[in-house]
Amino acid sequence: MRKLIPYMIFLFLLPVISYAQPAIEFNSESYDAGTATQGDIIEHNFEFTNKGDEDLLIEKVTSS
């Protein structure tokens, strides 16, 4: 029975370990810059937080 306890603990903790992941949450997901003409410089900062339980790595950012 004593040899079975560590295996049972591992089986109960396995789902917790395997589902750990980052989760990004934005304050706002879009921005309306209004009407702009060619040559205008438009800037906006998107604020976000990591609500997950692992490090959040941002590897590639593009605009649309």
Q: Which residue has the higher pLDDT, 2 or 48?
A: 48
Please give the average per-residue pLDDT across 12-39, as a whole number: 83
pLDDT at residue 17 greater than cutoff 60: no
Residue 56's contacts (CB-CB under 8 Å, 6 or more residues apart) are 22, 23, 24, 50
pLDDT reported for residue 14: 63
Report pLDDT digits (tens) over 26-59. Answer: 999 899 999 999 999 999 999 999 999 889 998 9
User: What is the rounded CA–CA span in Å between residue 9 and residue 13?
Assistant: 6
For residue 46, give the amino acid letter.
F
